[in-house]
Structure 1
Amino acid sequence: MGFLRRDFLKLGLTQAIVSAVGVPAFAATEQDGRSADGLPFQTAQRLSPSILQGATDATRTQFSILHLSKQQFNTVVRNSAGQIWQPEKIEILQQPFSEFQITKVYFAGLNLGELFFLDLLGAKDEVIERREFGMLDLNKSTLRYALCSCMDEGRHEPKIWQNLVGQNPDVIFFIGDSTYCDKGECEFPDGDTRRLWSRYVQARRTLEIYYSKRLIPIFATWDDHDFGSDDVNTTNWHHVAESQANFRAFFAQADNYTEGYFHGPGISSVLRAGQHQFLLMDDRSWRLEKTSSARYAHWGQQQEEWALEMIAGFEGTTWIMNGSQIFPEMVYKESMSKHRGQFNGFMGALKRIPRKVIFASGDVHFSEISKIESAMLGYQTYEVTSSAVHSKCFPGLDKISKHPRRMMSTTMPNYILVDSIHQAGTFTANVYSCSARNVVNFSCQLSV
């Protein structure tokens, strides 16, 4: 599957154009421990270190390393010339009931354009684990990034992660359900906060992305399953502070350590890269019951005001990334639009800001692109839903759950890959739904 960024960017289209859909020649049903694309689930949990690269800029980066507490090592960065960097800072996070811990390491003084190696060194300075990585150019005019959600390790497919890494994205966004705290075998029952740590550990020990030879910066937010349990909110989940602390422990997203990245209210955050701004929203810490019409039932007041301030103060285009969908109102699924008070209030405020936004979401176990009519915000925009990388997929679900804004969809296990540029006040993106086996389920070009 080739992605011709240069050719696409020369097109400069002003509306979405649907391409031919790549249709795999195998049955889209799960059976005998295999996914809808015919690949076997691989759910073995590993004992070797699980490593994630987090927020990164041109000179600084940070890593989250999950490992057995009894496993001791030193961490250094090397380049191909043999130059060595020691960590600027090290943090260790542990729980008394777990045999695994998180070690976070922070490095500064690195350079763009170089290939680096993160080395874990044993007692005799031998390399016991090595990953390669690069730095992130926040001034690029074009960006390539992946949108991922719904990663049930019980249906883990390594090949889809290998496919993603092979597309060489600059960054990866996790937009919800990177862990299913309420599923899987665990010694602690649902509702016990110790289960949060334990299930995050199990996911980190399983997913291929954490064992990739080449690391790519990951920026994350959550939805219900990695917050605590299925469809929970603050009226029936009373461990918000514990959930927030657990989430922050596993991801490498220190506030203001790297250029262009900082925290908002709750576990929300923002990444700014050139004329691209990405708001990773927290759709759980203030959420009320799904039928609530309260003015701030979805994001809370503080977070909405923060988001509007970020959008108004940024000259480029802003992605608003949310775990739940924003616009669709499907009967069986949550969405911001069902919180009518906050949805109407936020859209009204957004319409008064002379800036443009585009939306991203996950959750629903199929991917789709929705066209948002210009009457909503004063210009045509889109919502790109990416779901699921590997979770329970129901062939035909998108055909049953229809809505008038949908342009295209797929129920195959997939992630969304985006190539985008912001030029002369216009945001243009090439969007692909990608599965393992180099299948493109749908693709289109969007302009906002």
Structure 2
Amino acid sequence: MEFLRRDFLKLGLTQAIAATVSVPALATGGQDDRTNDGLLFINVMRDTPSILQGATDATRTQFSIQHHKDLKFNIIARNQTGTVWQPDKIEVLTQPYSPYAITKVFFSNLYLGEIFFLDLLGPADQIIERREFKTLDLAKPTLRYAIASCMDEGRHEPEIWKNMISQNPDVIFFIGDTVYCDKGESPYKKGDPRRLWTRFTDARRILEIYYSKRLVPVLATWDDHDFSGDDANSSSAEYVQMAQRNFLAFFAQNEGHSEGYAQGPGVASVLRAGQHQFLLMDDRSWRLTKESPDRYAHWGKDQEEWALQMISSFDGITWVMNGSQIFPHMIYKESMSKHNGQFNGFTSALRKISKKVIFASGDVHFSEVSKIEPAMVGYQTYEITSSGLHSKCFPGLDKISNHARRMMCTTNQNYVLIDSIYQGDRFSGNVYSCSAKSKVNFSTQISV
């Protein structure tokens, strides 16, 4: 039996699930090669194709496949009865200095309720790689989604990815630091455009999510480490444009192929699924220096206006997902609240909109649930921080900057899983912090 169940959704989340929390033994000195759960890091690079499913609706989907340039293959989709679908379109992206290519492939005329296989075919149509996938029902009232950030492949923990897939999320959101471009070995220095591509290809050769036999749609935005390095900002417009192109090359989120999905400014994007809307914000392309008082120091003017328009025009709940935290004002970490010009302007604008929002963030290497008081946006809401999927986490990190809004927290390697429903003009959701070995660090129910 899976350890998290959806049965309670039938009653509109009227009762919270009581989860038994098993507290793991924490890592101590001399165990830097293990997670807090005592699991070994596995960061061996693989040379077989790595595959990611991206923006998907009931009949269409797209994939990003990383592979050696010299690997020749055809691509088809088929169902369990053997019916074959040919791609609508194939795009191949390469760089002259890299032995790896990204092939993007697009399918349509699929249907709900069916298991499909993405097959890479070699000579004589031999299957050299096979992945299972489904389409996504964007109209259903309940959703299960995972939120993850901070995926240092040098501290890769494959078991936590396997646990995530086993929970059958409808969609997975990567909200920053999917690659640590300023870490790891590379022949190129920090700030060299070639370093971004090579570090992204390194991560694609290691992380378990790219080798899962069962695919789940993934949508992504970035934070500082997959943009450049720690606390990086937009000081070079030329670099920003190059970094945007690099990031979008590795994910399968081309606009115009899937219902409900659209790109926004920079690497921002939106997914609308029933009465759930997810805004994946770009917190680097217009970011100014730390604690800049400029009115648009965090997201820029165009992106804020885009976000407010998306929120005000949507009849449902909106998740505002950002790499950096929104509300906590931490001693040692960035947050939108430190860019107080944009923070105050944006929250003031939200108070004038009748539609409601919830916030999600990453970056800090611990996960927490914060209750946001009505004075901030006009009603009580929450910020869910999901951080430290596999990155440097240590006991006491959260205590350095505790704050009054925090309801619960964990410093274990984890992701956040949410079961939610929007019903009667109200959002309800059960929130879980999940680790490997089917461990629930904390759980709670939220309602907005």
TM value normalised by structure 1 = 0.97
Matches within 5 A, 1:45-444: 45-235=45-235, 239-444=239-444
The alpha carbon displacement at 1:19 in A equals 4.9
- Structure 2 Cα separation of the partners of residues 238 and 136 of structure 1: 37
Length, aligned pairs only? 446
Distance of aligned partners of 1:25 and 1:347 in 2 relative to their CA distance in 1, 3 Å threshold? closer
Is the 8 Å Cα contact of residues 155 and 392 (structure 2) preserved in structure 1?
yes
Distance of aligned partners of 1:61 and 1:231 in 2 relative to their CA distance in 1, 3 Å threshold? same
Q: Percent identity?
A: 65
Is the 8 Å Cα contact of residues 28 and 412 (structure 1) preserved in structure 2?
no
- 1:6 corresponds to which residue? 7
**Is residue 24 from structure 1 mapped to residue 23 from structure 2 by the alignment?**
yes
Q: Which runs of 4+ in 1 moved over 3 A?
A: 11-14, 17-21
3-state SS of 2:201 partner: helix
Is the 8 Å Cα contact of residues 17 and 430 (structure 2) preserved in structure 1?
no
Mark the runs of 5 or more structure 1 residues left unpaired by the alignment. Answer: none
The alpha carbon displacement at 1:256 in A equals 1.9
Distance of aligned partners of 1:241 and 1:62 in 2 relative to their CA distance in 1, 3 Å threshold? same
- Structure 1 Cα separation of the partners of residues 147 and 28 of structure 2: 23
Q: Which amino acid aligns with 1:3?
A: L
Mark the runs of 5 or more structure 2 residues left unpaired by the alignment. Answer: none
- Structure 1 Cα separation of the partners of residues 370 and 17 of structure 2: 12
3-state SS of 1:440 partner: strand
Is the 8 Å Cα contact of residues 65 and 104 (structure 1) preserved in structure 2?
yes
TM value normalised by structure 2 = 0.97
3-state SS of 2:293 partner: coil
The alpha carbon displacement at 1:331 in A equals 0.7
The alpha carbon displacement at 1:26 in A equals 2.2
Distance of aligned partners of 1:331 and 1:21 in 2 relative to their CA distance in 1, 3 Å threshold? farther
Q: Which amino acid aligns with 2:23?
A: P
The alpha carbon displacement at 1:375 in A equals 1.2
- Structure 1 Cα separation of the partners of residues 118 and 369 of structure 2: 37
Is the 8 Å Cα contact of residues 13 and 447 (structure 1) preserved in structure 2?
no
- Structure 2 Cα separation of the partners of residues 310 and 260 of structure 1: 12
Is the 8 Å Cα contact of residues 228 and 237 (structure 1) preserved in structure 2?
no
- 2:44 corresponds to which residue? 44
Is the 8 Å Cα contact of residues 13 and 445 (structure 1) preserved in structure 2?
no
Is the 8 Å Cα contact of residues 148 and 386 (structure 1) preserved in structure 2?
yes
The alpha carbon displacement at 1:96 in A equals 0.2
- Per-residue displacement from partner, 1:279-312 (whole Å, max 9, x unpaired)? 0000000000012010000000000000000000
- Per-residue displacement from partner, 1:325-381 (whole Å, max 9, x unpaired)? 000000100000000000000000011000000000000000000000011111100
- Per-residue displacement from partner, 1:140-193 (whole Å, max 9, x unpaired)? 100000000000000000000000000000000000000000000111111111
Is the 8 Å Cα contact of residues 151 and 179 (structure 2) preserved in structure 1?
yes
- Structure 2 Cα separation of the partners of residues 67 and 13 of structure 1: 47
The alpha carbon displacement at 1:139 in A equals 0.2
- Per-residue displacement from partner, 1:243-278 (whole Å, max 9, x unpaired)? 000001000000121000001111100000000000
Q: Which amino acid aligns with 1:7?
A: F
